[in-house]
Amino acid sequence: MGATGKQPEWLDDAVFYEIYPQSFLDSNSDGIGDINGITQKLDYIKELGCNAIWINPCFTSPFGDAGYDVEDYYSVAPRYGTNEDLARLFAEAHQREMHVLLDLVPGHTAVTHKWFKESMKAQKNEYTDRYIWTDSVWEEPQGMGCIRGISDRDGACVVNFFSHQPALNYGYYEQKCPWQQSMDDEGPKATLEAMKDVMRFWLKMGCDGFRVDMAGSLVKNDPEGKGNILLWQNIRTFLNEEFPKAAMVSEWGEPDKSLQGGFHMDFLLHFGPSHYNDLFRCEEPFFSSRGKGDISAFVEKYRENYEKSERKGLICIPSGNHDMDRLARTIKGDELKIAFAFLLSMPGAPFIYYGDEIGMRYVEGLTSVEGGYNRTGSRSPMQWNDGLNAGFSTAAAEKLYIAQDSVADRPTVFAQMEDKNSLYHEIQKLIKIRRAHPALLNKGEIEFVYAKKDTYPFAYVRSSGDERILVVLNPSDKKVSFPYEGVLGENIYQFGRDVTGDGTTVNVDARTAAFITLN
């Protein structure tokens, strides 16, 4: 299995809140959210029930891809504040028994990074092999985009995502061209050590770990992921020695591989084979009251990954993130509450995307901002209250990072906190119940009881030690039933109407979710 890391204890009951820093709270009236704005709202995040935060990239950047194009890994982007501001955020979070993950982007940089500027030079230097270059400007890397014709150096440089994000060189697992270096060559080894130095810097400052962007993409020509697993095992050994409490969460989407690599948790991705979008973001989502969705393919894939990852509660299911449509674009009202009953009763650490707790909407028809394109509508500024710019900023509206939802009834934190039946309060209640029951926590086991094709409801049992809890979810507008042999105990959570059982069948009213102890 290679190097593994003991999971930090705080991850056992972690509920994460994802913050897109430029859209959360602007503390200095420039129209862009910042680090001090996050610090000001730590008590709000804690009151919701979240005890951990993931901050999207906040490093110096030309912002061609909203900060996922890093220009300097060692400095906070001036628009967000200073390194001192970030150190203070870590300290303030720790005082509240909260933890903070930074977003590490190890696969590529901005073209403005000093490493890339040196790498472009025709004369050999210590950064010549920091990126992946072909031997000739006329030779394109097969199956990958490239940058070429911009430097004295002869060669085309592989890109990792957008055409302005040159790929850092960690080597090729299978080498098919002379310019493809092995993982053991000096250039790839130096790149890996440079990334360890970046991690060291922020961990020493007080960061609690990293969410790693595109974690499975570093070693190239690696069809089975073996090279990337080896690379992350190397990093895991370094962390075990120097920072054993650092948490590592991967954007990989293949939990069996990320676990072998020493990650503690992996994200369920909204693309690829996970069927995550079947739940919330498709023509007929499972969590729609129309009752035309299908949960079965999602469950089948989840079960497969759960077994592969040794039933360790490794798979994190987010409410959404900066890369996908807002949850409230396709499901609304009570549907959102039942969706959160699911999200907050599954294994793995839940991740709540800022604003999803109040049902913030996808803002339609926006022009792309900083490489957002169709994702821009999910990145609009947080809506705190009914004041100027919904309490996000005291700048003029045209200066805001992204235009806000302008609809008169847009949800706000203030309104939702005032309304005891709001989505905000439902999520707050669900997190409290999750924390009170070991079976519902991140490592509690799961057994799917009822997940039939094109059928409702969805039911599963969470367990830990002697505690067993049946979770029943019926977002549809029809009363349904399913076969279940067993005596139902106490309802520890109820939304909607009744769930009843006679020892052989469980009946579930429309638009209902319940957590029931089992005797």
The predicted structure's pLDDT at residue 3: 58
User: Residue 211: what are its φ and ψ, rounded to 5°?
Assistant: -95, 125
Contacts of 433 (CB under 8 A, 6+ apart): 344, 440, 492, 493, 515
* pLDDT tens column, 159-186: 999 999 999 999 999 999 999 999 999 9
The predicted structure's pLDDT at residue 2: 47
Q: What single letter denotes the amino acid at residue 108?
A: H
Question: Scanning the structure block, which residue is given the tokens 């069996």?
Answer: 256
* Spatial distance between the Cα atoms of 167 and 394, rounded to a whole number of angstroms: 39
Give me the mean pLDDT over the 478-494 stretch: 96
The predicted structure's pLDDT at residue 313: 78
The predicted structure's pLDDT at residue 428: 98
The predicted structure's pLDDT at residue 1: 40
* pLDDT tens column, 69-117: 999 999 999 999 999 999 999 999 999 999 999 999 999 999 999 999 9
Give the pairing type, strands 505-508 and 52-55. unpaired
* pLDDT tens column, 425-474: 999 999 999 999 999 999 999 999 999 999 999 999 999 999 999 999 99
The predicted structure's pLDDT at residue 424: 98
The predicted structure's pLDDT at residue 355: 98
Task: Tell whether the torsion through CA atoms of 433, 435, 438 and 440 is positive or negative.
Answer: positive
Give me the mean pLDDT over the 261-273 stretch: 88
- What three-state secondary structure class fits 102? strand
- Provide the residue count of the chain: 519
* pLDDT tens column, 318-330: 999 999 999 999 9
Give me the mean pLDDT over the 356-369 stretch: 98
The predicted structure's pLDDT at residue 4: 64
Q: Give CA torsion, residues 382, 384, 389, 392, to 10 deg.
A: -60
* pLDDT tens column, 278-290: 999 999 999 999 9
199-203, 264-268, 399-403, 507-511: lowest mean pLDDT where?
A: 264-268
Tell which residue, 1, 519, 475, 518, has the closest CA to residue 259.
1
Band (pLDDT 50/70/90 cuts) for residue 6 is confident
The predicted structure's pLDDT at residue 268: 82
- Asked if residue 54 has pLDDT above 50, the reply is yes
* Spatial distance between the Cα atoms of 14 and 365, rounded to a whole number of angstroms: 35
Q: Which helix (H) or strand (E) holds 40?
A: helix 35-40
CA dist 69 to 158, 161, 320, 324, 359, Å? Answer: 15, 10, 21, 19, 29
* pLDDT tens column, 378-393: 999 999 999 999 999 9
* pLDDT tens column, 124-173: 999 999 999 999 999 999 888 999 999 999 999 999 999 999 999 999 99
Per-chain mean pLDDT for the chain: 96
Percent with pLDDT over 70 in the chain = 99
* Spatial distance between the Cα atoms of 268 and 246, rounded to a whole number of angstroms: 21
Q: Model pTM?
A: 0.97
Tell which residue, 369, 282, 297, has the closest CA to residue 331.
282
The predicted structure's pLDDT at residue 149: 96
* Spatial distance between the Cα atoms of 157 and 163, rounded to a whole number of angstroms: 10
